[in-house]
A and B are shown apart, each in its own frame.
Chain A
């Protein structure tokens, strides 16, 4: 299987597709407002007629390129190209302002590569272990796993817990459309046969993440932001010395592990991992006062962590079918389109494809480093592409993606409806990422809950230790998260009241 996977990736066509995917991913990552998720959305229809190894390899390359490309605009424009590069701005841009843009970019690129490789290594080691463990899962365990994963939403939503939960619940409600699990009775289909299979994940994601982005840009048409691009981007070698590289390795390893760890947790993406890693790096550093003034350490912490998240997020995706973030949710859609069913049996049923994914990730990481080190001037020039021309083309590609999903124009109506819903939710400060978790986990929860209801009399829950552990973990997560959220909310209210008092005094 390993050799089969390797030979699939080493086909010239696959290598070309991975190269194209990496370049497009970097472009999408580097342009503020476009993300890795959008790049995957856009290229999904292109992969329809490819083999599963080719298609998924290309999607992986887009993912890796997309996450890595964000560092370019973070360093040169002080605007993160993707949420994953927020913390890269803190030290990357000041470093560029000091006239060391080459060093900042070189550091970001090399440590993005290291983060990706560490993430892939842990993915290769951990995903089969998790798959073996998950083979013991039956209805009870899957039901508890869905509850546990949904409970993570509470932990993630910060002070606005009800809004995060609302998003997740809307996702579960959308997942109830179509034939019900087990007994296949139509629900909420309003007599439309197109809804019998429910809404497609890909169509939901297109609406949530692509259409809403166009609308967000449309809002700013009359208040356009003008960027000043720092053009001093000559990278000498890799931009830093070997001594500097060695001195950064402990920071990089810790950051990569944080990235992988955060990636494994459902619903949290690179945006959180880079912030946590930056904070940890700063708090454990001997020269913490220098963070934010333009030092390598900050760029290393952020970029290694966000790329480490890629491998981490793939672990639950492949082993359990639970995506770590929006981009991996899109990849889940891609896997489904190519008839690859993620779950404990993935190695048995689609082993060659899984190994192809691993090899494609390594090749994409190498391509990413080479292209970004030697083609930086090109990627910087891409920052000037007018978005008013780019976004309509992306929407058309999204529409093709929706049509191609089931060769039906009907899905484009759903795409527009989800886009409108997403826009309104964002305007109401309701996050959209928990909705994906709800949409994916809702059917797992329902199917297994109903099976459990059938089994309960003959096979009581206390015979299932994993179930009990997961439920206990859920209770702990909920209690701690609710307490932390309430504390955060109180702190924020106090800060708000204080700010208001200050402004009132200033007015007087």
Chain B
């Protein structure tokens, strides 16, 4: 085992097990219906069933991962430690894309679709462009962002009746 494949079992296994436990813990807060016509299996039964199955499968992953790890070490493998910061740095474009997307949806209501989209498309194009090519992409990215926002807003808001938020531009009577 050249690479540390066990990590792909242990880490997701732990996260999923915690998620399953959290899910199972919340089930008793579901209100059961016990009146006329109530089914013998209540609305808690299936959540309990799937939550338990997920917990079992997550435990399976963890155990499998631990066994792989033992094998890896027995075969003379050396565990490389990589901090979370390093991992995120290595995937910074992904992190920035998620941040841009989250900010985009968060500001869409107050700023409105047009402004939020212009900002998002511009930033996202640059994020997806290698840094050394940024300079020559500023103008095309800005034009693409403005055209995308303007055309899509007009088509969907006025031709296809999708209620896209207007935000601060409502002062211009849009």
Which A residues lie at the B interface, using CB under 8 A? 45-46, 48-49, 162-163, 165-166, 169-170, 172-173, 176, 180-183, 185-188, 211, 214-215, 217-219, 221-222, 224, 387-389, 391-393, 395-397, 399-400, 403-404, 407, 409, 412-413, 415-416, 419-420, 423-425, 428-430, 442, 445-446, 449-451, 453-454, 456, 496, 500, 503
Contacts and interface: CB of A to CB of B under 8 A. Distances in A.
B105 A413 contact: yes
Given A389-B140, A393-B121, A450-B45, A180 B30 contact: yes
A150 B24 CA distance: 22
Given A391-B128, A419-B101, A428-B11, A450 B39 contact: yes
B159 to A, nearest CB: 8
A176 B75 contact: no
B50 A169 contact: yes
A110 B170 CA distance: 52
B162 A403 contact: yes
25 contacts: A48-B162, A166-B16, A166-B58, A180-B43, A185-B32, A186-B31, A187-B43, A188-B26, A211-B101, A215-B97, A224-B130, A388-B125, A392-B128, A392-B144, A397-B152, A409-B165, A412-B108, A416-B101, A420-B98, A428-B8, A429-B8, A442-B50, A450-B45, A454-B40, A500-B75
Chain A at the B interface: SS class: helix
Interface footprint category on B: 35 or more
A483 B61 CA distance: 19
A83 B73 CA distance: 36
Given A218-B94, A412-B105, A503-B2, A451 B39 contact: yes
Given A48-B160, A392-B121, A392-B128, A185 B43 contact: yes
**A-B CB proximity, top 10 nearest:** A183-B33, A180-B43, A388-B128, A392-B124, A428-B12, A218-B93, A412-B105, A404-B162, A453-B41, A446-B46
Contacts of B164: 400, 403
Contacts of B168: none
A453 B152 contact: no
A133 B111 CA distance: 53
A395 B122 CA distance: 12
A496 B89 CA distance: 31
A454 B163 CA distance: 43
Contact of A407 (B97, B102, B130, B163): B163
A268 B115 CA distance: 41
Contacts, number: 182
Contacts of B161: 48-49
A429 B3 CA distance: 14
A163 to B, nearest CB: 7
A185 B148 CA distance: 42
Nearest to B27: A187
B130 A221 contact: yes
B2 to A, nearest CB: 7
Contacts of A166: 16, 54, 57-58, 61
A396 B148 contact: yes
A220 to B, nearest CB: 9
- Most B CB atoms within 10 A — which of A388, A395, A456? A388
A367 B153 CA distance: 30
- Most A CB atoms within 10 A — which of B57, B125, B161, B165? B57
Nearest to B64: A162
A395 B102 CA distance: 12
B128 A415 contact: no
Contacts of A217: 128
Contact of A221 (B11, B128, B162): B128
Contact of A183 (B1, B43, B47, B140): B43
B147 to A, nearest CB: 9
B25 to A, nearest CB: 12
Given A217-B128, A428-B8, A187 B30 contact: yes
B91 interface: yes
Contacts of A423: 94, 98
B163 A173 contact: no
Interface string B10-40: 0110001000000100100011110000111
A221 B105 CA distance: 23
Contact of B46 (A176, A219, A430): A176
Nearest to A413: B105
Contacts of A224: 130
Contact of B108 (A183, A397, A409, A425): A409
A173 B104 contact: no
A162 B163 contact: no
Contacts of B75: 500
Given A169-B57, A218-B93, A218-B94, 19 more contacts: A45-B160, A49-B161, A162-B57, A172-B50, A173-B50, A186-B31, A218-B127, A219-B94, A221-B127, A389-B125, A389-B140, A392-B120, A392-B148, A393-B121, A400-B152, A403-B162, A409-B165, A419-B101, A456-B40
B57 A219 contact: no
Given A169-B54, A185-B33, A445-B46, A215 B160 contact: no
Interface in B48-82: 50-51, 53-54, 57-58, 60-61, 64, 75
A166 B40 CA distance: 28
